[in-house]
Structure 1
Amino acid sequence: MRLETSCRAARLRARGGFWFGLVAALAGGSLAWSGCGSSAGTEAGSTSSGSGGTGGEGGQGGGGGGACGPGTILCGTACVATASDPANCGGCDNKCEAGEVCSVGQCALQCSGGTEKCGNLCVTTASDPLNCGMCGNACAAGEVCSAGQCGVQCAGGTEKCGNLCVTTASDPLNCGMCGNACAAGEVCSGGQCGVQCAGGSTKCGNLCVSTATDPANCGMCGNACAAGEVCSAGQCGVQCAGGSTKCGNLCVTTATDPANCGMCGNACAAGEACSGGQCGFQCAGGTVQCGNICTNTTFDPANCGVCGNACPGAPNATATCAQGSCSFACAAPFENCNLSAADGCEVNTSTSLTNCGGCGVACAALPNATPACAGGICGLGACNPGFDDCDGNAQNGCESNLGNDKNNCGGCGIVCSGNLACAAGSCVVAGCYGPLTPVQTIQLDASWSSNTDTNFHPQGMTYDEAAGNLVIVLQDAPQLRIVSLAGLLLNTVIVSPTGPNVFDYLTSVAADANFYYFADYTCNNGCPDLFRVGKGGGVPTQISNEIAAYGGYPLAIGGGKMFRGEIIANTYDYTSLNQIRVSDLATPDTVTQTHTIPIARGIGDLTWDGSTLWALGYSHDSSPNRDVDLLKIDPVTGAVLETHLNVYNPGAPYNPSGLAYAQGHLYVLNYSETSGVGSTLTKLACQ
């Protein structure tokens, strides 16, 4: 090929850019034409690049620079169309193999997206002046290629811009009129440059296309139909649907298409429109002529109400026209939940937690977990650290605490067998075993823990596993003291009596994940009564009105059960048998088991160590001694598993009154009988 022919081909490629919705350049290939001299600058205009020359209509053709036009990027010193250039296919320096072509930015053996293979290029023979109608058929000087025919005029609704026939309504190089190139990032829609597509078209790259018929973007951007296929109703196939006709590689409506009016290839002349399959200057059937087409402005989004009124696009939506008024239709799964046209369809209902599957459908909070929305369905997202969804039920969230769940210890399905318990995510020997050794005495603040004239001294104690703190009940004050394992007062929970009851002898306390439970031994209506209160305090709820024979009514909760201890005989003779009554926590008034315990003195308090019960021998200021006695008890049979007598003696003025198991240790509360002298905690090491 002679030099001027090569340069002419390069100039044609440069002027072609993106055309009729194709991301490939008209003839493909590189836009560099180094060595073409002044003629390159004269013809190329605004796409001048390379060695330059005298400059043309669009620029001075200087030192080989300038921004690349739409559809091209800078590779080295040249602007190239990576959608069709086999030397830079999809990106700079990505060369296709011998025999391959570059089609829609992909190296392949066949051309797709409605283009045809001519040599090693994919071209549009309907408009390529080098391959007009078929490969190698170059139009003569001064001619253009329109509808696959060489001539001096453009047909089929296109306009002549230089040596090309273009659609000024959508060509970003000739938007609205020849030579009006849109800026970087803009598209040409309805002959206007902007950032959104109007008239019902979709933005694909820097083009506005109809994804219903565009073989390069069929159904969605970038979905190119294979060789021999057409795009009809957004689906690639070999046949056209919906009353359209296959003309070449396109599905068209021959009743209105000025490029295929009445039949394939019958292009209307300049100024004519196609109506009812006939070219002419008047439209029929209630349509009006808008430019070179006959359309119904009642529902045409490109000419809504009047010619040229293109309905504006909106994010995640397609412009629509109904009764001559513009609107938009959301593209699933997006919705216009705020009812504002300014931001279009702003919500993705397939992932939005507050609009999951539809506007206003919020995913509910889940225990120990973060909710998620997937595919428009609310479900379980991520579990909080230390928790997991072991039962597979998203409704109860991540129900298993892997740190202490015996059936899911450290992970779902890991079961601690036999007497093993789960602690910190590992199976360990359950609970506490003797011998018991005092390892620390912890001093409590005298301002609230000593005996006073009103007898507000600490009486019972429990461990709140959920919070990691001790809870101490004050005997004659409606208060629960929240204390750290180091003896620091953290909070005070006020419990207020209801009805005729007046709390005057609070004796014991227990806790589960949500509530504190406490007993009032000598309230006005012949108690002891059992109450429950939220961990924030407030008005308690009475859950039992069972009259015990006698004793301090100690409480413990474990394994879904409530355990209550009492002296059988109404006497402090320190020789009486004692009993522990067992009930389900949900129905505390229904006793399911009663265990008789041969403890020398009354049961002062009970605690649960994860698998068994521990009982503290009752003591007070008139008892023979102040020794601490502890019994380990089987919660099912009531059998005494271990007996530890005289574990320690706190000495005057202290009396043991509370017991709690926490983090591998037993804690005994020694209340002070002397005003101004604080009570203490004795920490016992378990084996």
Structure 2
Amino acid sequence: MIKLIKIKTILMTSVALLSLSGAANAALINLDNTYTLAPNFSSPRGNFHPQGLGYDTASGELLYMQQNVRRIDRSDIFGVFTGSTSIDFSHGTSVAADSTNYYYSNYTSNANGPDLYSKNKITGVRTQISSDVLAYGGYPIDVRDGKMYRSEYSTTYSWANLSSIRISNLSTIDSIDQTVTLDTLFGIADFGIDSVNNEAWVLDYNANAAIRRFDLTTGALLDVFAVGVDGLDAGLTYANGKLYVYDWVENGPSTLRSYSVSGVNVVSAPASLPMILAGIIGVFFIRKSSIAS
């Protein structure tokens, strides 16, 4: 009887553990802090002026791309300035990084200039990494786990038409592995990728923007959060369970908002879990059989 109770307990535990890999839950975000940024984060605009925010997964720094300056500014997660990296163009729109490079999109020279570059953190060497050469206003990007995420091309000096994310490996950047069309009508001002849950957090390209959470497999809209920032010239990124919004204000003060995220799935149970559980249960049955014989 004791052995049967143990086996029943294991079976019940198995069901509970397997249920952890269920469908995505509704998320919640909570504004934790609003930080006033230094004056260099509020440089004057030029013309069409989307701004970008990225996250350096190697250094733990936030990265700021302003349209009318030839640099990437950096801060810690509290908005404290930590340094700048120069770039060669003054029409940057978005920024990302990994352990080796900074990545940025720009619209310098419109249809006569490449849209996507990397810059080596150590050597400072700039490299054109994509054949994208289109007019108008560049596009938002993110880099996570060896993959480049970027929207489709803008077709005018507006990002209201942006509604999809192209995904490729950094090693073969123009070989698009997947294009996900998002269920949005407001365009994409900027986005941050949650690679653990395969989701995208998107800031509306709208004067009264919301943050939207999307499934990166289907493009389905999962959640909407009214944050009330001007998404026409703001940036968004995701890092370690938090969202960061760069609310750019010409001539300042610009601000950095941090939002804690709750309710999203943790890492799903590994695919091998059912086999592991079956093996454990099998051991009990084998042991019970051997004792009986």
Fold match (TM-score > 0.5): yes
Residues 573/681 of structure 1: CA separation in 2 closer, same or farther (3 Å cut): closer
1:663 matches 2:240:
yes
1:672 is aligned to 2:249: yes
Residue in 2 that maps onto 1:546: 132
Q: Tell me the CA shift for residue 539 of structure 1.
A: 3.3
Per-residue CA deviations over 1:208-235 (Å, capped at 9, x if unaligned) read: xxxxxxxxxxxxxxxxxxxxxxxxxxxx
Q: What secondary structure is seen at the aligned counterpart in 2 of 1:507? A: strand
TM-aligned CA distance change 1:664 to 1:556, over 3 Å:
same
Equivalent of residue 649 in structure 1, options 218, 221, 228: 228
What is the Cα deviation at residue 639 of structure 1?
2.1
Higher helix share goes to which structure? 2
- After superposition, residues 260-275 of structure 1 pair within 5 angstroms as none
Cα gap change, 1:552 to 1:669, in 2 (>3 Å): farther
Give CA-to-partner distance per residue, 1:289-312, whole Å, 9 cap, x none: xxxxxxxxxxxxxxxxxxxxxxxx
- Residue equivalent to 2:165: 580
Displacement of 1:419: 8.3
| 8 Å CA contact retained: 1:604, 1:657 | yes
**Corresponding residue of 1:489:** 81
The aligned counterpart of 2:186 is 601
Letter of the 1:627 counterpart: N
Distance 1:478 1:449, change over 3 A: same
Shift of 1:581: 1.3
Q: Is the 8 A contact 2:234 2:247 kept in 1?
A: yes
SS in 1 for 2:142: strand
The SS at the match of 1:648 is strand
Tell whether the 8 Å contact from 2:105 to 2:116 is kept in structure 1 after alignment.
yes
The corresponding residue for 2:44 is 452
Is 1:617 aligned with 2:192?
Answer: no
Identical amino acids, percent of aligned pairs:
33
Scaled by the length of structure 2, what TM-score is found?
0.71
Q: Is the 8 A contact 1:659 1:668 kept in 2?
A: yes
Q: 1:465 aligns with which of 34, 57, 67?
A: 57
Q: Which aligned pairs between 1:375-386 and structure 2 lie closer than 5 A? A: none
Q: Deviations over 1:601-635 (max 9, x none)?
A: 2211121223222221124xxxxxx3232222333
SS in 2 for 1:586: helix
TM-score under structure 1 normalisation?
0.32
Give the root-mean-square deviation of aligned CA atoms.
3.2
Looking at structure 1, the residues matched to 135 and 181 of structure 2 have their Cα atoms a distance apart, in angstroms, of 14
Q: Give the equivalent residue in structure 2 for 1:507.
A: 93
Query: Which amino acid in structure 2 is aligned with residue 489 of structure 1?
Result: F
Contact 1:666 1:685 (8 Å CA) reproduced: yes
Q: Which sections of structure 2, spanning at least 5 residues, go unmatched?
A: 1-17, 263-293
Change beyond 3 A, Cα 1:558–1:682:
same
Instruction: In structure 2, give the amino acid aligned to 1:610.
Output: S
1:432 shift after superposition:
10
Contact map agreement 2:151 2:164 (CA 8 A) in 1: yes
Choose the corresponding residue for 2:220, options 640, 644, 659.
640
Partner of 1:475: helix, strand, or coil? coil
The residue type equivalent to 1:634 in the other structure is D
The answer to whether the 8 Å contact 1:493/1:537 transfers is no
Residue in structure 1 matching 2:112, options 514, 526, 534: 526
Tell me if the contact between 2:215 and 2:222 (Cα under 8 Å) persists in the aligned partners: no
TM-superposed deviation, 1:541: 0.6
Give the C-alpha shift of residue 550 in structure 1. 5.9
Amino acid at match of 2:72: L
From 630, 649, 655, the counterpart of 2:211? 630
Question: Aligned partner of 1:553: which letter?
Answer: Y
Specify the SS of the correspondent of 2:68.
coil
Pair 1:543–1:419, CA change in 2 (3 A) = farther
Distance 1:489 1:568 in 2: 31
Residue matched to 1:474: 66
Q: State whether residues 106 and 137 of structure 2, in contact with CA within 8 Å, keep that contact through their aligned partners in structure 1.
A: no
The structure that has the greater radius of gyration is: 1
1:686 to partner: Cα distance: 0.5
Relative distance call for 1:588 and 1:678 in structure 2 (3 A) is: same
Structure with the higher fraction of residues in strand conformation: 2
**Amino acid corresponding to residue 555 of structure 1 in structure 2:** I
Structure 1: give runs of 5+ residues left out of the alignment: 1-416, 421-428, 497-502, 620-625
Task: Check the 8 A contact 1:567/1:578 in 2, yes or no.
Answer: no
Q: Superposed, which structure 2 residues align to 1:12-411 within 5 Å? A: none
The aligned amino acid for 1:442 is: Y
Look up the match of 2:143. 557
